[in-house]
Amino acid sequence: MSVAENYRRTAEDVERIALKYGRKPDEISILAVSKTHPADKMLEAASCGVRLFGESRVQEALPKIEIVKAAYPDAIFHFIGKIQTNKAKKLVEYFSLIHSVDSLRAAEALNGAAEACGKIQDILIQLNLAREPQKGGVYYEGLEELICFIKKTHNLKLRGFMLIPPFENEPEYNRAYFKSAGEIYKKFKKDGNFNIDILSMGMSGDYETAISEGSTMVRIGTMIFGSR
């Protein structure tokens, strides 16, 4: 099946699920995760209307971003991978939203890079609610401190949270994590100190559960571009 056809089906399914759970379809955006796929496939997606792309490796992403931006200047790129502080400058230069801030060190590096190029950088905090030591994301007890730090920076703007739950074939097993991320999102959205409006959760295998628990952005790779 073509990327265009895959994307159309994905968008229809997200809309169907949104309505099923009483959500407004236009509250939920689809981040097309193009990591490991060549720029050609991104151009194919862009030709049928996709403008929002997710990448997880700086080195791989930059040349692809150059190609896609040359053809589609309104394309937008989000970073969803592990943050290496020595790449902070490139991250700030190329990505409009960074989903994976999970430490004071990463926040500090991004803030410094953003300050140096006069940008206010939109970020999400990545949550590790299942406390998986091999994975990125802040544990629940570290969240408050990270938020306080970000609040004090001048060049970072916290827009919300991102969740990667444990790998499961049955997404229902992860419902508690999606629910808990939804609660964290709602709690900080109410706090007038921020403009929280993004809850990034849900991938090809579990976006229905994520949407039912309040996701506003699903990150879809395999279902749009095929297997990696």
Ligand X SMILES: *Cc1c(COP(=O)(O)O)cnc(C)c1O
Which residue, 70 or 96, is less far from ligand X as judged by CB? 96
Nearest distance in Å: CB 190, ligand X: 26
Nearest distance in Å: CB 74, ligand X: 23
Cα distance between residue 56 and residue 42, in whole Å: 14
Contact 58, 41 (CB under 8 A): no
Query: Which positions touch ligand X (CB under 6 A)?
Result: 33, 35, 56, 80, 164, 203-205, 219-223
The DSSP secondary-structure symbol of 84 reads P
Nearest in space to 28 (alpha carbons), one of 199, 177, 209: 199
Nearest distance in Å: CB 207, ligand X: 8
Helix (H, G, I), strand (E, B) or coil at 58: helix
Which residue, 164 or 199, is less far from ligand X as judged by CB? 164
Report phi then psi at 195, rounded to 5: -115, 70
Nearest distance in Å: CB 202, ligand X: 8
Which residue, 79 or 153, is less far from ligand X as judged by CB? 79
Contact 14, 206 (CB under 8 A): no
Which residue, 56 or 174, is less far from ligand X as judged by CB? 56
